[in-house]
Chain A
Amino acid sequence: MSLGQQKAQMMRVWPLLDSRVEGGQLVVTGTVKPTPITRSYRVRVTLNDFGTPRVYVLSPILERRVQEPDVPIPHTYEYATPGKEQPCLYHPKSAEWLPSMPLALSIMPWLLSWLLDYEYWHATGEWIGGGVPHGSTKVRDDSPSRAVDDRA
């Protein structure tokens, strides 16, 4: 899908988000609320010509748990840098996301799911959304996710 097509699809499915193509990127910004009992989040998703989506949670910023400030937020890029974490929504080596897939029907709902799992983890310390650890070459689900980080 071209950026133009991605943008058109975004606007159809997510009409209240601001979707625009600028500087060779599709930039989608707006507020989402994963379920009636979660918070609302202002998020930004970008997609460039190479088809690499990046996901940012602008506000409220993602935070570690107060009770365990040394434990990074699970399933994030830049997890060692508080304030810079970005959700990891899929395994880059898997075929779960391809540039031919519509952002609006893949990355976006995955982001909602991730935010719900994040809120639950934040409240309880447990990540029950499943997932695969960094450094793993296997795309294997290890849920509930308490597996050792291979890279650590």
Chain B
Amino acid sequence: MAAPYLVEANADLDHLLTEVARTLQLTPDQHKLAVKHYTAIADWLGASDSPLARYEPRIYPQGSMALETTVRPLRRDEYDLDLVCQLLATGRTALDVFDLVYNRLYSHATYKSMIKRMNRCVRLIYAHDFHLDIIPGEPDAARGPTAIVVPDRDLKQWTPSNPLGYVAWYTDRSRESLVALRKKVDPVPRPTPVEHKPALTIAIQLMKRRRDVWCDAETAPRSIVLTTLAAENYSGTDRVFTALAQIVAGIQDRVAAAHPYRITVCNPTNKDEKFCESFAGPGCYEAFKNFINQLERDLTRIREADGLSEIEDTLGDVFGEEPVQKALRSYTAVQKTKRDAGALEFTGAGLGGLSIVTPVSGIAHAAPTHKYYGATGDPRR
């Protein structure tokens, strides 16, 4: 069983982790593109002359786009946007409602060639590593004001869901303000810059990246499972590193307590929506446990890295080299910028220290500007 980390990680390390996360965000262009596609589909589904019009479709995002936990794909993997097309109660069967939405999309000249039936959504596959899943739904008032039911084609029936409830729950867990929550509901929100994202969100993005780097694609844990477990085990900290440590320790405890059975992971706002069904696939639960244990080892290595070279090696192994190089560079560049401006503070207390991100503890002084002297490096240059 993992011991929870009692020591707060330092702000400089957290800054590096946040900078790594920065490189994982969707680019502004990718985000714009997603919004463009989303809006076009919402307009088509909701058009006043659409066969769906009588059911007053309400369109809203779910999943990582709604939570801002999207991570840029590694290699060729596609990234996706989930949107819910919630209709008024139609009185029709689940499969009928699925077809209703499918047919509306199919009847569009462009979407016709991109369309694919999935088990619980209609997928539109765009040319540039991007797909959009439209999830039909109807209200499920018995389970709650935001609860819905979604057609499941394999089961030939409705299954419970609650995407809006999930977003509200996640926002509360991540300690974001309600203003931020309103931003997340219709339409797709403007992207929040990474430095304003809650520590929980950055931690989840890093976990997803680590999963993409380390896990086999076939058995890799689903994002909704990781996100839910992370939010459940996060116990409130501003430090990304500490959040990761809390999450990993919490998941390990739960896995151990459930043994020899598997843990349950469901939508906290709709217990009948079981995300853990993805553990049923061959090798999937094993892969999930292995991933969590690997994360623990990763965190230990990061914590024990001594100096920039070791940190670069370690973070590079864990998250990939490119994000780490950028992060380290910007960190070291901050020092020079501050120094040149005469704004670099230092202390001589304890082991001394420069204030790059973490304010110095102890009496602070401003370092006078100066320029190094001497050979610049390669005499061949």
Contacts and interface: CB of A to CB of B under 8 A. Distances in A.
Given A74-B374, A76-B374, A142-B376, A32 B332 contact: no
Given A37-B311, A113-B354, A123-B328, A145 B377 contact: yes
Given A35-B353, A37-B305, 9 more contacts: A17-B348, A104-B348, A105-B368, A109-B344, A124-B325, A124-B329, A129-B335, A147-B376, A152-B379
Interface string B354-379: 10101000010101111111111111
B367 A109 contact: yes
A16 B351 contact: yes
B371 A37 contact: no
Contact of A128 (B306, B336, B354): B336
B350 A37 contact: no
Listed residue (A16, A35, A71) with the most chain B CB atoms within 10 angstroms of its CB? A35
Given A35-B356, A35-B358, A72-B377, A122 B309 contact: yes
Most chain A beta-carbon neighbours within 10 Å: one of B10, B351, B376: B376
B125 to A, nearest CB: 40
Contacts of A79: 374-375
Interface in A107-121: 108-110, 112-114, 116-117, 119-121
B333 A40 contact: no
A50 B293 CA distance: 60
A89 to B, nearest CB: 6
16 contacts: A33-B353, A35-B12, A39-B306, A74-B372, A88-B373, A90-B370, A94-B371, A101-B368, A106-B368, A116-B335, A116-B356, A117-B372, A119-B309, A120-B308, A127-B377, A131-B372
Provide the main secondary structure of the chain B interface.
loop
Interface residues of B, number: 48
A89 B358 CA distance: 24
B215 interface: no
Interface of A: 13-17, 31-40, 68, 71-72, 74-77, 79, 87-92, 94, 96-97, 101, 104-106, 108-110, 112-114, 116-117, 119-124, 126-134, 139, 141-143, 145-149, 151-152
B379 A72 contact: yes
A37 to B, nearest CB: 5
Interface of B: 10-13, 16, 305-309, 311-312, 325, 328-329, 332-333, 335-336, 339-340, 344, 346, 348-354, 356, 358, 363, 365, 367-379, 381
Nearest to A96: B370
A15 B370 CA distance: 24
B372 A36 contact: no
A75 B373 contact: yes
Contact of B10 (A37, A88, A129): A37
Chain B CB count within 10 A is highest, among A13, A36, A88, for A36
